[in-house]
Amino acid sequence: MNTDFRTGFIAIVGRPNVGKSTLLNALVGQKVSITSRKPQTTRHRIIGIHSDDAAQFIFVDTPGFQMEHKSALNRVMNKSVTDTLSNVDVVLFVIEASHFDPRDARVMKLLPDSRPVILVINKIDTLQEKSELLPFIERMAKAFPFAEIVPVTAEHGKIEALPKAIRAYLPEGPPMYDPDNITDRSERFLAAEIIREKIFRLLGEEVPYQTSVMIEQFTLEGNLRRIHASVIVDKAGQKAILIGKGGEKMKAISTQARKDMETLFGSKVYLEVWVKIKSGWADDERAVKSLGYGDA
């Protein structure tokens, strides 16, 4: 092992929908965190691991800090963000290119002054005028004492400068995880997240925010993973929307989820998904915790 080997935890924070989960997947080199264009897609703290000859990067993707919808679920999600910031070696603060609004400013107020913070300016490919980038970087450099400022396009994997920038701030030490690991999360957890991603991608604005996914059964039979899952909704009307006319919507969700699981797990997957009504679950702190939110 490299005598100058470094290992550390890196938090990825930012307001909803700036591309944190896409960045995590690009840094790890494989999909470990779900993505969609809707805010609040990430609800859990997800760890993604990337190891090379010089370092082991342990990335912690946090939920986007919630400014509205003061439910028990969102309180738990916000606590996950603040807890993570106090227990890492480096913080990546992700914003969109040439876009900094009051929501970003509120997250910036949470940034610690006791550890290095790297500003990651994402989606630079969306800039109509590339000349806008340098003045924006200069403006952001005056707003907070960032250790580094690194422009990237996470969606297209253009992140080459970022790992090098991060490594300089990691403490020296041996790897904490097997170099082949890409996450500390179980296959059961990843299966639930994949189903939830398809709900976010295939349904309208409101229904995804009132849903959660529970894996009722996960068994391995040779090269087949047999998975039974329940989607928890708040109201009967949401159940009808999820199932769709003739069951077509749920069939599409299940089919896309199964294909992603087969790619991730490298095996055949038999997937069954049901929809259950649990009224008011997102506002019930006990129900939120029973569904796994707020876990490390």
Q: Are residues 161 and 25 in the same domain?
A: yes
Answer yes or no: is 128 within a domain. Answer: yes
Q: DSSP letters of the chain? A: --TT-EEEEEEEE-STTSSHHHHHHHHHTS--S---SSTT---S-EEEEEE-SSEEEEEEE-PPPP-S---HHHHHHHHHHHHHHTT-SEEEEEEETTB--HHHHHHHTT--SSS-EEEEEE-GGG-S-GGGHHHHHHHHHHHS--SEEEE-BGGGTB-THHHHHHHTTSPB---SS-TT--BSS-HHHHHHHHHHHHHHHHS-SSGGGG-EEEEEEEEEETTEEEEEEEEEESSHHHHHHHH-GGGHHHHHHHHHHHHHHHHHHTSEEEEEEEEEE-TTGGG-HHHHHHTTTT--
Alpha-carbon distance of 169 to 196, in angstroms, equals: 34
Are 35 and 131 contained in the same domain? yes
CATH of the domain at 83: 3.40.50.300
Per the structure, the count of domains in the chain is 2
pLDDT at 286: 54
For residue 290, the model assigns a pLDDT of: 44
pLDDT in tens, 24-52: 889 988 777 655 444 444 445 667 899 99
The average pLDDT across 264-291 equals 72
pLDDT at residue 168 in the model: 96
Q: Are residues 143 and 276 part of one domain?
A: no
Pick the closest to residue 43 from 235, 211, 181 (CA basis).
211
Bridge partners of 10, per DSSP, are 59, 90
Whole-number percent of the chain with pLDDT over 90: 39
For residue 296, being part of any structural domain is answered with no
Look at residue 10 and tell me if it is in a domain: yes
Q: What is the pLDDT of residues 51-110, one digit of tens each?
A: 999 999 999 876 544 444 454 445 544 555 566 677 789 999 999 998 899 989 988 988
**Residue 222 domain-assigned (yes or no):** yes
CATH code assigned at 220:
3.30.300.20
Structure tokens given for 286: 């006990």
Instruction: Mark whether 140 and 193 lie in a shared domain.
Output: no
Give the tens place of pLDDT for each residue, 180-226: 888 877 788 888 888 988 888 887 655 555 678 888 899 989 899 99
User: Does residue 104 sit in the same domain as residue 23?
Assistant: yes
The whole-model pTM stands at: 0.67
In this structure, are 48 and 128 located in the same domain?
A: yes
Which domain covers residue 235, as residue numbers?
187-290
Give the pLDDT confidence score for residue 73 in this predicted structure. 47
Do 134 and 37 have their domain in common? yes
Comparing CA positions, the residue from 87, 63, 108, 95 lying closest to residue 8 is: 87
Considering the domain architecture, whether residues 134 and 195 belong to the same structural domain is answered as no
Residues 34 and 152 in one domain: yes
**Residue 151: what are its φ and ψ, rounded to 5°?**
-80, 140
Residues 14 and 149 placed together within one structural domain of the fold: yes
Could you tell me if 146 and 195 lie in one domain?
A: no
CA count, 13 A, side-chain hemisphere, 269 = 26
Res 115 pLDDT > 60: yes
User: Is the domain of 157 the same as that of 101?
Assistant: yes
pLDDT at 133: 94
